[in-house]
Structure 1
């Protein structure tokens, strides 16, 4: 199944997962990483766990967590698996959890899109079509 700005359901047992408002910013060539953002919603009554992501666009896609310490210094670290409680949602957004696209295979050009596969612990997956917005975009509306 596919998702973009609209919601879609997963397959293979993750049928209660919905992805909303996927988007990415255009990149500056391929020497800098890209990022993608979305909301992942669990509409079911059991927890689901996001275990990984894949895309042909980047050799090393990961979910990262940005945090800022008391001195105002920001850092990013891989987030690992993400559990989404029943009826809850996880927002992947600038300044927090986000998809980090390292070692881009091609530039992320405004107006293009790319496929991003989300893998879940029950074997389910969702393929999301992520639109690439302008380099200064602040959200899915541009």
Structure 2
């Protein structure tokens, strides 16, 4: 009887622990589409990268940061224009992506800001950009560098 109670208590404890553990999304659940960037004018000005991040999984994911060997300070930024037509840009913080939803990183909105470039962004080259997620494996994308006047991957 004592052994049965002990076994039941262990099974209940393990089951409760499994139920309360966070569910992690796998890297296959995060789909990166249409990544691109523009060539830079040297390294004095920041660069930017754009893409669509789609959550194809069943759990919400949280984008918490970026890493790239190209820039010392990569961050997600957001550009906004107020009612008076004045534009501003600031760090966006964490980005929540619900299951089945997408987040668009685009000029004039959310974007990957690449501050303190280590080298110029040269048209025709690519660079790696790692997206860091709190509740999923990180995802690395190869970002093509388009012309300085480009308006997207289709232009």
Structure-1-length-normalised TM-score: 0.89
Runs of 4+ in 1 over 2 A off after TM superposition: 12-15
Whether 1:59 aligns to 2:79 is: no
Instruction: Report if aligned partners of 2:61, 2:136 keep a CA contact under 8 Å in 1.
Output: no
For 1:54-133, list aligned pairs within 5 A.
Answer: 54-133=67-146
Cα RMSD (Å): 1.1
Instruction: Report if aligned partners of 1:14, 1:122 keep a CA contact under 8 Å in 2.
Output: no
Larger C-alpha radius of gyration, 1 or 2? 2
The superposition leaves residues 90-119 of structure 1 with CA deviations (integer Å, 9 ceiling, x where unpaired) of: 000000000000000000000000000001
Between structures 1 and 2, the one with greater helix share = 2
CA gap of 1:17–1:123, structure 2 versus 1, over 3 A, is closer
What's the CA shift for 1:140? 1.1
Whether 1:13 aligns to 2:26 is: yes
Between structures 1 and 2, the one with greater strand share = 1
The superposition leaves residues 20-46 of structure 1 with CA deviations (integer Å, 9 ceiling, x where unpaired) of: 000000001000000000000001121
The superposition leaves residues 22-75 of structure 1 with CA deviations (integer Å, 9 ceiling, x where unpaired) of: 000000100000000000000112111111100010000000000001111100
| Structure 2 gap ranges (5+) | 1-24
What's the CA shift for 1:123? 4.5
Query: How many aligned positions are there?
Result: 131
